[in-house]
Amino acid sequence: MFDPKAEAMSPDERAALQQHRLQGLIDRLLAADGVQGRRLREAGVERGADVALADLPRLPRTTKQDLWDAYPFGMVTVPRDQIAAVHGSSGTRGRPTLVSYTRADLDLWAAMCARALACAGAGPGSLVHNAYGYGLFTGGIGIHQGAVALGAAVVPMSGGMTERQIRMIADLRPDILTCTPAYALRLGEAAAEVGADLSSLRAGVFGAEPWSEEMRTAIEAVLPVKALDIYGLSEVIGPGVAAECLEQNGLHVNEDHFIVETIDPQTGEPCAEGQPGELVFTTPTKQALPLLRYRTGDIASLTGGPCGCGRTLVRMSKVTGRVDDMLVIRGVNVYPSEVERVLLASGLVGPHYQLVVDRREPGTRLIVACEPHAGEAASAELARLLRAEIGLTAEVRALPAGAVPRVEIGKAVRVVTWDSGEPPIPGLDRPLTAT
């Protein structure tokens, strides 16, 4: 562990620490008199000392819309001369969501990413090949500064240039790989094509997009790693909010700095342990942009109890989807990750796929574009499995190997919408043929 005292703290000690830090956060928000402070006063909260940890579910929540409405610095609670960095989301759903950091925030972020790398077995003397993108996106720089804080060496490759990535792994012999899960697949397949030796790798820390257990199996089939999940989002701090250890039984949430809840997305009521719900985070130790009960939109479940690794932090499941990513196809509600699970568990299809929501005519239909091992015969069986396991009627299109777009930079685009014009993937309008 990077910080055994914090990561293996007793539940009672951690709860006391959380309550103390929550009360301090409330006092800071009230003093700042921003949107969060005003909402607290409207809820009858006048000072932090009056709030217990058990009172958290009754406190007001914060949303991405609040950040957009206050763009770019309206929710910052420190003087502008204390801002040391600005990061943010990619803006794939509109304008970027910008987040400010003080120097202390950057130190905290580095420590959280160091914890994540230690979960993967990294330590001083490790070499981390970092293929997350650098820039406004938090992935690359977050992992980079985490590796430095841990005492490891880091290779700042960023994304793309796959041939060079493989050469560097083969030559430098890193033990840790960090990138998106989709790019991990691409690296493994590209290495196999040229016969590159990637045997030095022991673990991979893959995040920035939801991925399934079946995707883990696919990654571990093409790379000599234990594939581990990492979770974070710019608004909360970036990667390092939670990370999976080598036990691979859930992501450890760093609860001393991120108080986590799950709520019913519709009612806002708390979810029971083990029940999937929307993740909500409170950031009691952040300085520049502290958030009270921030609704992430991500769906996961929480499980308590110690892990075999010795950590006592609550564990969250893999993210199964986003509230706003749910597809409604002919009356069936489904997350893309559920389709991925069925496809990859079947053994009939390669790990690359794309879901096409066809809205050109009344009655939305779903086309599952994939690369089956047996062409049309596999397509029919995959369509049957989707109906049987998740109740989804979809058209499964068999495409030749390599036809589904591979990700080189950034996050994989798993869902595209077809409103008019040319199909998003060449060949979707042609008759089905065996591949």
Q: What is the pLDDT of residues 62-93, one digit of tens each?
A: 999 999 999 999 999 999 999 999 999 865 55
pTM of the model: 0.89
Tokens linked to 140: 């690359």
Residue 229 has pLDDT above 90, yes or no: yes
Across residues 212-228, what is the average pLDDT?
Answer: 96
Q: Give the model's confidence band at 409: pLDDT under 50 very low, under 70 low, under 90 confident, else very high.
A: confident
Buried b / exposed e over 279-302, threshold 16 CB at 10 Å, is: bbbbbbebbbbbbbbbbbbbbbbb
Q: With residue 271 as reference, give the H or E element that holds it.
A: none
Distances (CA, A) of 108 to 105, 116, 249, 359: 5, 13, 25, 45
- What share of residues in the chain are helix, strand, coil (percent, to 5)? 35, 25, 45
**Separation between Cα atoms, residue 225 and residue 221, nearest integer Å:** 9
Q: Give me the residue label for tokens 């999940």.
A: 229
Q: What tokens were used for 390?
A: 């998740």
For the record, the structure tokens of 376 come out as 């049309």
Question: Rg for the chain (alpha carbons), in Å?
Answer: 22
Tens of pLDDT, residues 36-56: 999 999 999 999 999 999 999
- Given a contact cutoff of 8 angstroms between Cβ atoms, the answer to whether 76 and 288 are in contact is yes
Residues in a beta bridge with 354: 369
Distance (Å, whole) CA 238 – CA 235 = 7
Per-residue pLDDT at 435 exceeds 80: no
